[in-house]
């Protein structure tokens, strides 16, 4: 039984796996981490291993508590990955992007893959059919775009994601929703179009906190899975075990 932990910029996501099957999923703020991990370990006393990736900060006491419970793999740039990293500055490549690239490589072998992670930022990561990671792009996510309009203007209100929007905004609020949401949709579709021109056989994976919201609005055929990073950690742990 494996515990996968994703320490993100804003929240902590956790899943329990057994024989490649996800048993349960948790999400919580870092302030509640210790209490939640105590409950998880109490419920799943048969846990045999942990794999953890982090782009955020985890309290040292919480990390020490986790380490005291069971063997742990903390994913780093020195870890073994199932792809060749051709990024010009590999030491600056986010661990979350590397884990997603690993998951795409392992789950979709012998294919060109584009992983789109729609979270705090929107990241695009391309791994070709030869299992070479070539890079991608980073842009502001939906929440950052809403906050930027409020922060950098004197009169525009701070809004949050809303299902009810039109292409032509007939008020300031609806115009903001149209600009932010349609802007992201057009951006993603534009990236997919450009990558597809160079790759006839392209597998597109959409993940992240806003994946489900965006998947319903994208025209392109995609594999949408908001928990792909946790599943990728599970696959990466199996890869580590086989390549020790």
User: Annotated catalytic sites, by residue?
Assistant: 96
Give the dihedral sign, CA 184/185/187/188.
Answer: positive
Coil, strand or helix at 208: coil
Closest Cα partner for 44 from 21, 27, 69, 65? 69
Antiparallel, parallel or unpaired: β 121-127 and 112-118 = antiparallel
Quick one: DSSP state of residue 94? -
What's the full length of the chain, in residues?
244
Q: How far apart are CA 233 and CA 136, in angstroms?
A: 21
Residue 18 contacts residue 1 (beta carbons within 8 Å): yes
| Neighbouring residues of 102: CB distance < 8 A, sequence distance ≥ 6 | 81, 82, 83, 232, 235, 236, 239
By CB atoms closer than 10 A (0-12, 13-18, 19+), residue 144 is: middle
Q: Exposed, middle or buried by CB within 10 Å (0-12, 13-18, 19+), for 6?
A: buried
């Amino acid at each position: 039984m494996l515990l996968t932990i994703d320490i993100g910029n804003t929240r902590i996501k956790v899943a329990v796996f057994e024989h490649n099957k996800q048993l349960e999923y948790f999400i919580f703020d870092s302030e509640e981490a210790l209490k939640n991990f105590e409950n998880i370990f109490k419920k799943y006393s048969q846990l045999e291993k942990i794999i953890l990736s982090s782009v955020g900060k985890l309290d040292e006491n919480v990390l020490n508590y986790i380490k005291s419970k069971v063997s742990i793999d903390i994913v780093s740039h020195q870890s073994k990955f199932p792809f060749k990293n051709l990024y010009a500055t590999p030491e600056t490549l986010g661990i979350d992007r590397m884990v997603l690239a690993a998951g795409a490589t392992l789950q979709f072998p012998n294919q060109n893959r584009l992983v789109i992670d729609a979270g705090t930022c929107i990241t695009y990561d391309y791994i070709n059919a030869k299992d070479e990671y070539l890079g991608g792009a980073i842009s502001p996510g939906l929440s950052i775009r809403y906050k930027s309009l409020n922060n950098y203007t004197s009169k525009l209100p701070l809004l949050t994601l809303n299902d009810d929007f039109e292409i032509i905004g007939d008020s300031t609020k609806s115009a903001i929703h149209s600009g932010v949401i349609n802007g992201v949709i057009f951006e993603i579709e534009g990236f997919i179009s450009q990558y597809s021109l160079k790759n006839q056989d392209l597998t597109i994976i959409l993940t992240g906190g806003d994946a489900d919201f965006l998947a319903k609005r994208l025209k392109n055929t995609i594999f949408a899975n908001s928990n792909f990073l946790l599943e990728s950690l599970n696959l990466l742990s199996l890869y580590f075990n086989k390549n020790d």
